[in-house]
């Protein structure tokens, strides 16, 4: 007997491997916009961060995997920590000018 679980949208699905499901998952279905079409904005922020400065990269349009890869690249170049989620990359520290230069070098020509 297979287990059934309720989905957030009210649909049911089965763990039975023979069960046919024509419902597509959309969690990672968005394609990443080409680098030269991305309108990234780089700015500094201290809100809700106990006065510590972070550099924000906003406006990324694409898959979470590509966002995380770009975030990892930036964190490595800066030699610092940070995170990437929901189209936003957070880098700890003031790296605004360096990040803008690197992004433009990497093909993100619409970066400001």
The DSSP result for 72-84, as a single string, is: HHHHHHHTS-EEE
With a cut of 70, say whether residue 76 has pLDDT above it: yes
Does 70 map to a domain? yes
Give me the chain's average pLDDT, please. Answer: 82
**Residue 102 banded pLDDT, cuts 50, 70, 90:** very high
Tell me which of 69 and 10 has the higher pLDDT.
69
CA atoms within 13 A on the CB side of 65: 6
CATH code, domain with 37 = 3.30.780.10
The count of structural domains within the chain is 1
With a cut of 60, say whether residue 4 has pLDDT above it: no
Q: Tell me, what's the pLDDT at 50?
A: 87
With a cut of 70, say whether residue 9 has pLDDT above it: no
Residue among 59, 89, 58 at smallest CA distance from 73: 89
Tokens encoding 77: 């170049």
């Amino acid at each position: 007997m297979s287990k059934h679980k309720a989905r957030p949208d009210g649909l049911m699905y089965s763990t039975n491997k023979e069960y046919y499901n024509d419902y597509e998952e959309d969690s990672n279905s968005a394609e990443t916009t080409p680098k030269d079409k991305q309108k990234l904005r780089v700015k500094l922020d201290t809100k809700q961060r106990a006065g510590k400065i972070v550099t924000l990269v906003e406006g990324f349009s694409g898959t979470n995997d590509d966002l995380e890869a770009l975030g990892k690249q930036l964190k490595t170049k800066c030699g610092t920590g940070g995170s990437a989620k929901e189209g936003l990359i957070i880098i700890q520290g003031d790296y605004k000018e360096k990040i803008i230069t690197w992004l433009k070098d990497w093909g993100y020509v619409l970066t400001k």
